[in-house]
Structure 1
Amino acid sequence: MEFPKILFSLFALIFFLFPSPMYAAPGNSNIFREYIGAEFKNVKFSDVPIHSGIEFHFILSFAIDYTTSSPAPTNGQFNIFWDTNNLTPAAVSAIKDQHSNVKVALSLGGDSVGGSSAYFNPSSVDSWVSNAVSSLTAIIKQYNLDGIDIDYEHFQADSNTFAECIGRLITTLKNNRVISFASIAPYADKEVQSHYKALWKSYGHIIDYVNFQFYAYDKGTTVSQFMGYFATQRSNYQKGRILASFSTDGNGGISPENGFFRACSKLLSKGELAGIFVWSADDSKSNGFKYEKQSQALLAIPH
């Protein structure tokens, strides 16, 4: 009987023409994200302009698994290292009450602690994950947070250990409904990429955003160079929502003055602008958040 073969062929054709959303390449999105609190410049959530037509994520920087005095690794027992005088649990609740489109996350790791590199340094996968789940759950609930970002940049563990620790952490926090989203923040460095690509290979399906640090490329990056870098990272983190990024500290990458928004317009036209993020609100306060306003206005345009 030929009918089953015809039916099978029809299903195969439908799958080919209309692939599952899980495997579809991400398109344009109106997500804007900004790191805040790492540089203790007295910036408040309420200082930052928030456009009502986008999804806005503040990312508190940083929670680190180090002791707060004479910093030393704690094997997953996280402490708060952001500006707690201005960025309090009450301030989180207030900004979320005032703006229904705002969510707040915390970032893990960062570049340094107490003037030295902040290392990812677990004693074992099981013990680190257990400690991290417990300590982060307490912080996330205290601050009424929505997600986490992974921004480790220095490692005293191999890439597979990093992948398992972070992958299990995100999985557990999501399964426990402690967080609703997770992101990673790699940049173009061989060791950094090896760790994050190992994580992506095993756990990419539970990571919602890739906050790729395009500002870690050379200062003076051109539009054409940026487009090439962006294509490379789309290949490295396939099916990921890769966000375009710039820094307002003027240290590197493509700047708003040198073509960042032209590059974003090109990405928009290709259906590849999954969002924009900025490092950081602390640095932007001095110029009145000029480029945050421009970024959000671009993302709010229907497309």
Structure 2
Amino acid sequence: MTCKASRSRPCSRKSYPRSNMLGFKRIGAILLGLSSLWTTVAVPLEAHNLTDTARSFLTTRAKNAVPSAPRFVIYSDKFVSGETGPPPVSMVQGYNVFALSFLLTEGAFDKAEEWTQLTDAQRSSVKSQYAAAGIQIIVSLFGSTDAPTSSGADPVATANTMAAFVKQFNLDGVDVDYEDFNAINAGDGRAEQWLTDFTRQLRNQLPQGQFILTHAPVAPWFSPGKFGGGAYLTVNQNVGSLIDWYNVQFYNQGTSEYTTCSGLLTTSSGTWPQSALFQIAASGVPLSKLVIGKPATTGDASNGFIPTSTLAQCVSQAKNQGWSAGVMVWEFPDAAAAWIQDVRSIAFPE
């Protein structure tokens, strides 16, 4: 998918063709079979036939499983030859959240689907190794190929099904990568209400403190007065207390947007006013929840790339001004342990 930014339609995270999209198999078939339930209010957990391992996970899950700031988040969607599921933990040392992408309304694809291909024992082994390194494994929802509001998906039923996936497959939570731009741009409030209802039901199913629940909006969706429904300023007002943090996409929004420390941190352009980091905080979004998101390379986004040496300086400047939320990157393997080590080197050395 190729996307060009404009004032009316900010681009999504992905700017390359999804040529590696995998056919969904066991869990995809389960979720697709549940599509008739989208208009129902609840999907009983027992209906998903959880394995004994998953039930044990739910009954023994430790409290306070959400990492404290700073959060260092890496997404994984690309096919890696010879690798099913997450990479060896040494390759992502320095992060504390690893996001498998994506779980869609029609099923699990790409790295999320690969996770379902592992056996319970294999998943348990990976989880143990990652936990020992202080890394939580979550699943990212929707992405650029899914438009749940525009397609008429019921937010409560969708939340129930996706929360059941998390529990069945022993994951630490979800990231809501909502990129239904047509719904947000409509300005009628439907997108904001959908996200509100969806987030509330996700949190009902995935209790706060026990499961991670993040959102990954593009930075312009925090720009005051640009969207009729208020975009993520409305979402934050409605359900911000239920969201652990925001993996803000400071990229794909124009060739000169968020490409300097000033533009990223304090003074966004007139195209997307008041959408730099500290400007978003000034609009009422907690600074502690604003994780800076960047592409790993110029090939991972249409624009918005900053070299790690420059990004490290920006992160240090932000920390000196009272911010410590963390950094997100799209995506592995273009970013790995060395990438986050460079970015953390000044402000958050390991």
Superposition TM-score, scaled by structure 1 size: 0.70
Q: Where does structure 2 lack aligned partners over 5 or more consecutive residues? A: 1-67, 184-188, 267-275
Q: 2:145 aligns with which of 112, 120, 123?
A: 112
User: Are residue 269 (structure 1) and residue 320 (structure 2) matched?
Assistant: yes
| Distance in 2 separating the partners of 1:80 and 1:260 | 33
Name whichever structure is richer in helix by fraction.
1
Q: Does the CA-based 8 Å contact 2:149-2:191 persist in structure 1?
A: no
CA deviations over 1:13-67 (Å, ceiling 9, x no partner): xxxxxxxxxxxxxxx9332111112x3234643166344xx6610111111113x
Percent of pairs with identical residues: 21
Q: Which residue is equivalent to 1:255?
A: 306
Show the counterpart of 1:132: 159
Distance 1:211 1:249 in 2: 17
Amino acid at match of 2:265: M
SS at match of 1:280: strand
Q: Does 1:151 align with 2:199?
A: no
| Pairing 1:151-190 to 2, within 5 Å after superposition | 151-154=177-180, 155-156=182-183, 158-175=190-207, 180-187=211-218, 188-189=220-221, 190=226
For these two proteins, the number of residue pairs brought into alignment is 249
Please give the alpha-carbon distance, in whole angstroms, between the structure 2 residues aligned to 1:289 and 1:233: 29
Does the 8 A contact of 2:71 with 2:327 survive in 1?
Answer: yes
Equivalent of 1:244 in 278, 287, 292: 292
Aligned to 1:63: 103
State the Cα RMSD in Å: 3.1
Residues 282-301 of structure 1 mapped to structure 2, 5 A cutoff? 282-284=333-335, 289-298=337-346, 300-301=348-349
Residue aligning to 2:124? 93
Counterparts of 1:82 and 1:192, CA distance in 2: 34
Q: C-alpha separation between the residues in 1 aligned to 2:297 and 2:228?
A: 22
Aligned to 2:48: none
Partner secondary structure for residue 254 of structure 2: coil
**Amino acid in the other structure paired with 2:88:** S
Residue of 64, 73, 79 corresponding to 1:40: 79
Output one character per residue of 1:191-248: Cα deviation in whole Å (capped at 9) or x when no partner. 5983322211111111111110012343451121112211122234522510112101
Distance 1:106 1:236 in 2: 29
Q: Deviations over 1:275-295 (max 9, x none)?
A: 1111011433xxx65312323
Gap change, CA 1:59 and 1:92, over 3 Å in 2: farther
What are the ranges of 5 or more consecutive residues in structure 1 without an aligned counterpart? 1-27, 67-78
For residues 258 and 119 of structure 1, what CA distance do their matches in structure 2 show?
A: 38
* Structure 1 position 273, deviation (Å): 2.4
Query: SS state of the match for residue 334, structure 2?
Result: helix
**Aligned-pair distance for 1:102?**
1.3
In structure 2, do the counterparts of structure 1 residues 294 and 83 end up closer, same or farther at CA, with 3 Å as the change threshold? same
State the partner residue of 2:91.
49
Note if contact 1:35-1:60 (Cα within 8 Å) is conserved in structure 2. Answer: yes
Partner amino acid for 1:230?
L
- Give the secondary structure class of the aligned counterpart of 1:294: helix
Match in the other structure for 2:16: none
Cα distance in 2 for residues equivalent to 1:61 and 1:196: 22
Write the deviation string for residues 256-299 of structure 1: whole angstroms up to 9, x where unpaired: 25621110010111220211111011433xxx653123235556
Instruction: Provide the rounded CA distance (Å) in 1 between the counterparts of 2:195 and 2:284.
Output: 14
CA distance in 2, matches of 1:249, 1:146: 27
- Letter of the 2:326 counterpart: G
